[in-house]
Homo-oligomer: A and B are copies of this chain.
């Protein structure tokens, strides 16, 4: 039982009970409480390690989607592909580490804030580039689009856990919702009037 195995067991269990105690996590991981404490000095240490892992995966998702290059290229097609790849990857990350999204204490932890802010800045810059390239509408702030993605990913996670939707459908549902919205299409029509941030 290495550190990594304990961490994935912890993730698995925290996803069913986000408020689980160290004792419950240890039991779920099949180790004693003492052993758990040998790997992680305390609850905060464990949570921090899990949070860092999720940020690692977020960073990998950004890199894997090639958002930096796409942002620099300003090429609509590259931006579009990178966007699809990023959203698809974010779905899985949100599903796996979603238990932490609810945890208020972690969200404001000084060890995590700089990292998550930097990752978010990259994402916002990428989305803004997609707006400039005409891939995304530019009458909504890029920062709001970034939040909306996360909100939809959380919604998808919740729907999955409740059994409302099939796992294989999630990417289509989320991407469909994110890109095209829920309104029925009468070609060219926009349901809600554009706001003031258009240029």
Contacts and interface: CB of A to CB of B under 8 A. Distances in A.
A180 B181 CA distance: 4
Given A137-B183, A183-B135, A102 B105 contact: no
Given A17-B104, A102-B104, A151-B151, A169 B181 contact: no
A103 B19 CA distance: 9
Nearest to A177: B148
A147 B158 contact: yes
A140 B173 contact: yes
Interface string A179-190: 111111101101
Nearest to A102: B102
Contacts of A181: 177-182
B184 A18 contact: no
A156 interface: yes
A123 interface: no
Given A172-B195, A181-B178, A183-B180, A155 B164 contact: no
Contact of A182 (B105, B134, B179): B179
- 10 interchain residue pairs of minimum CB distance: A151-B155, A187-B188, A181-B181, A102-B102, A179-B191, A151-B151, A179-B183, A180-B181, A147-B155, A176-B192
